[in-house]
C-alpha cells in the first residue's frame, strides 16, 4: 500500500472554528447554571414550608432542654412519709407525731401523689394519697410582716386537693400584704377518711400547731385564721363553730398541744360546700365566734350560694359581729363549663374581667378594716368587737331599734328610755309574754 493510501484512510479530526467552539462552551455553562438555580429554588421552597423551630427545641418541636427543679414526692422508708414543700422555702411540719393514733399507721408510709400541670412545668395542680397530713409555712419578711397568718384549705370535692390555684397562688399574693401563709394538706374522703372526723380535725389541729409555733415564726398568736375553698370551706366553716369541743376533746396530758387554742381569729369561706347549717341543721354558735367572710357566685353556682347564705343567715340571726358576704351575679363554680367552651377558673384568677374575679380585693378590704394588717401585737378591731359581744347577753330575735356599731346593736344616743320624762314604756318583742 502506498503512502498516499495510508494517509487517505486515517481518521480525520475536525477542528471547529474558534467562534463555534466558544459558543458551545457558553451554552454548557448556561445549562449548568440553570440546573443549579432550579436546585436552589427547590431547597428554598422546602425550607419555607418547614416551620422554624422555637429556641430550645429541635425540628420536631421537642424540647432540647428539660425544666429544672420539678417537685417530686419524698422517698419512702420505714418511717411515716415526710411531706415535701410545694413551693421553695416552705417549712413543712406533720400535724401529728409519728406514733399518733390520729393517723393510720398502716398507710402513713405511703408517698403522696402529685398531679402536675400539663402546661406549666414544675407546677403542682393537686395532690392525692395524703396519709400523713401536714402544714407548709411561708413566712413574710420582717419589715413587711403584720403577724397575721392565714391557713389555706384547698378544695377538690374531697377527692383531690387543689393546692395550685387554691393554695400556692396565694403565697405571693398575701406576702405583698405582709400576711404569712400556711398551706394545709388534709386527708381526703377518696383515700378512706371521714370529712368531719378526719379532715375537720386536721384543720383545727393546724390552727393549734401554728399558734404553738407563733413566736418561732414571728406570727401574732391573736391573728391566726383559716380560709377554705369549696370542699376546703367544709373545714373552715366548722372551725368557726366547733373549736371549743375540739380543744376539750384534745386536752389529755400526753397531747403536746394541750392547752393551745384551736379557735381561729378569722375565717374565710369561698364558694363553699355544705356548712354546719346545711339541710336544716342549727348547731349552737359560740359567743366568741370569729368574724367570717363569705363569697360565692350567685345563680350560676346556686347550690353553693345557698350554702353560703345559710351560714350567713345563721350568723346574722345571732348578731355575730363583722360577718360579711358577697354574692356575685355573674359566675360559676370552678370547673363548670362556660358558653365559650372553656371552664370556670377559681382561686385568684381574673375570670375574664367579671366582678367575681375581684373577690380577693373585697376580702383585703374586710381584713384591713378589722385591723389584721396592723403591726404585730396591736389589738385588732375584730378582737375588741368580739369582747364587747361576749360581754352582752344574747339578744332575742325580734328586738328592734338601735344601730349597728362593730356588728353590735346599740341604742341610738337620742333614743328615749323608760326613765325619760314623757317616754312611753318599751314595747314587748314577739317572744316576750305579758
Residues 179-191: pLDDT tens digits? 999 999 999 999 9
Alpha helices by DSSP H, listed for 111-253, are: 170-175, 200-212, 233-239, 243-249
The DSSP bridge pattern shows strands 267-270 and 292-297 to be parallel
The pLDDT value recorded for residue 27 is 67
* Measured distance CA(416)–CA(428) in Å, rounded: 15
Contact between 73 and 82 (Cβ < 8 Å)? no
Q: How many CA atoms lie within 13 A of 392 on its CB side?
A: 17
Query: Can you tell me the distance from the alpha carbon of 309 to that of 269, in angstroms, rounded to the nearest whole number?
Result: 11
> How many secondary structure helices (H) and strands (E) does the chain include?
9, 12
**Per-residue pLDDT at 416:** 37
Question: C-alpha angle 126/207/249, rounded to 5°?
Answer: 115
Least confident stretch, 50-59, 97-106, 284-293: 50-59
**Mean pLDDT to the nearest integer, 192-209:** 97
pLDDT tens, position by position, 320-353: 999 999 999 998 898 888 888 888 888 888 877 8
Radius of gyration from C-alpha coordinates of the chain: 37
The more confident residue out of 218 and 25 is 218
Across the range 293-299, mean pLDDT stands at 96
Residue 266: pLDDT band with limits 50, 70, 90 = very high
Task: Report the pLDDT value the prediction gives residue 70, as an integer from 0 to 100.
Answer: 80
pLDDT value for 394 = 80
How far out from the chain centre does Cα 136 lie?
13
- Which one of 57-66, 283-292, 347-356 scores highest in mean pLDDT? 283-292
At 425, is the pLDDT very low, low, confident or very high (cuts 50, 70, 90)? very low
State yes or no: pLDDT of 88 exceeds 70.
yes
Provide the pLDDT for residue 46.
52
Architecture of domain 91-388 in CATH? 3-Layer(aba) Sandwich (3.40)
Pick 415 or 25 by higher pLDDT: 25
Of 378 and 1, the one with more pLDDT: 378
Please state whether the predicted TM-score (pTM) of the whole model is above 0.75: yes
**What distance, in Å, lies between the first and last C-alpha atoms of the chain?**
167
In 3-state terms, what secondary structure has residue 405? strand
Q: CA torsion 164→166→170→174, rounded to 10°?
A: -160
Report the distance separating Cα 165 and Cα 185, nearest Å. Answer: 14
Residue 68: per-residue pLDDT: 76
Tell me how many degrees the CA angle 362-368-369 measures, rounded to the nearest 5.
90
> Using CB atoms within 10 A of its CB, is residue 291 exposed (0-12), middle (13-18) or buried (19+)?
buried
Rank 70-84, 268-282, 349-363 by mean pLDDT and report only the highest.
Answer: 268-282
Mean pLDDT lowest for which of 59-68, 288-297, 365-374? Answer: 59-68
| pLDDT at 407 exceeding the cut of 60 | no
Higher pLDDT: 363 or 344? It is 363
pLDDT (tens digit per residue) in 114-161: 999 999 999 999 999 999 999 999 999 989 999 999 999 999 999 999
As a whole number, the mean pLDDT across the chain is: 84
pLDDT cut 70: percent of the chain above it: 76
Instruction: State the sign of the Cα–Cα–Cα–Cα dihedral 407, 413, 416, 420.
Output: positive
pLDDT at 35 (0 to 100): 66
- Cell numbers 389541729 correspond to 205
Per-residue pLDDT tens digits for 2-26: 555 544 555 555 555 555 456 666 7
CA distance 270 to 311: 12
Measure the CA–CA gap between 158 and 274, rounded to whole angstroms: 12
Query: Is 70 exceeded by the pLDDT of residue 264?
Result: yes
- Could you read off the pLDDT of 95-107 as tens digits, one per residue? 999 999 999 999 9
Amino acid at each position: 500500500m502506498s503512502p498516499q493510501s495510508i494517509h487517505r484512510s486515517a481518521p480525520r479530526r475536525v477542528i471547529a472554528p474558534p467562534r463555534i467552539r466558544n459558543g458551545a462552551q457558553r451554552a454548557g455553562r448556561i445549562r449548568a447554571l440553570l440546573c443549579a438555580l432550579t436546585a436552589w429554588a427547590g431547597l428554598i421552597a422546602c425550607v419555607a414550608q418547614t416551620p422554624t423551630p422555637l429556641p430550645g427545641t429541635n425540628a420536631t418541636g421537642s424540647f432540647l432542654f428539660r425544666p429544672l427543679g420539678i417537685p417530686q414526692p419524698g422517698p419512702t422508708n420505714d418511717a411515716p412519709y415526710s411531706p415535701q414543700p410545694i413551693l421553695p422555702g416552705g417549712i413543712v411540719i406533720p400535724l401529728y407525731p409519728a406514733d399518733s393514733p390520729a393517723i393510720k399507721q398502716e398507710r402513713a408510709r405511703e408517698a403522696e401523689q402529685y398531679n402536675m400541670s400539663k402546661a406549666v412545668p414544675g407546677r403542682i395542680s393537686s395532690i392525692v394519697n395524703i396519709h400523713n397530713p401536714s402544714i407548709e409555712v411561708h413566712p413574710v419578711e420582717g419589715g413587711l410582716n403584720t403577724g397575721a397568718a392565714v391557713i389555706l384549705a384547698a378544695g377538690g370535692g374531697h377527692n383531690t386537693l387543689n393546692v395550685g390555684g387554691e393554695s400556692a397562688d396565694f403565697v405571693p399574693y398575701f406576702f405583698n400584704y405582709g400576711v404569712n401563709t400556711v398551706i394545709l394538706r388534709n386527708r381526703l374522703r377518696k383515700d378512706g377518711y371521714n370529712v368531719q372526723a378526719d379532715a375537720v380535725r386536721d384543720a383545727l389541729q393546724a390552727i393549734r400547731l401554728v399558734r404553738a409555733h407563733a413566736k418561732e415564726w414571728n406570727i401574732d398568736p391573736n391573728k391566726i385564721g383559716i380560709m377554705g375553698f369549696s370542699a376546703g370551706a367544709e373545714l373552715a366553716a366548722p372551725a368557726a363553730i366547733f373549736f371549743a369541743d375540739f380543744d376539750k376533746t384534745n386536752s389529755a396530758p400526753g397531747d403536746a398541744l394541750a392547752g393551745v387554742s384551736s379557735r381561729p381569729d378569722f375565717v374565710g369561706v369561698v364558694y363553699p360546700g355544705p356548712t354546719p347549717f346545711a339541710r336544716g341543721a342549727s348547731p349552737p354558735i359560740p359567743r366568741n365566734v370569729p368574724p367570717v367572710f363569705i363569697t360565692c357566685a350567685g345563680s350560676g353556682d346556686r347550690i353553693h350560694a345557698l350554702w353560703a347564705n345559710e351560714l350567713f343567715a345563721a350568723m346574722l340571726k345571732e348578731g355575730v359581729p363583722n360577718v360579711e358576704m358577697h354574692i356575685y351575679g355573674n359566675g360559676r363554680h370552678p370547673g363548670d363549663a362556660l358558653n365559650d367552651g372553656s371552664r370556670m377558673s377559681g382561686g385568684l384568677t381574673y375570670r375574664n374581667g367579671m366582678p367575681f374575679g375581684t373577690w380577693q380585693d373585697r376580702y383585703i378590704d374586710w381584713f384591713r378594716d378589722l385591723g389584721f394588717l396592723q403591726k404585730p401585737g396591736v389589738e385588732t378591731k375584730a378582737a375588741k368587737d368580739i369582747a364587747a359581744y361576749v360581754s352582752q347577753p344574747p339578744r332575742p330575735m325580734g328586738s328592734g331599734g338601735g344601730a349597728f356599731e362593730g356588728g353590735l346593736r346599740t341604742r341610738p344616743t337620742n333614743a328615749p328610755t323608760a326613765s325619760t320624762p314623757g317616754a312611753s314604756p318599751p314595747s314587748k318583742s314577739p317572744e316576750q309574754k305579758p
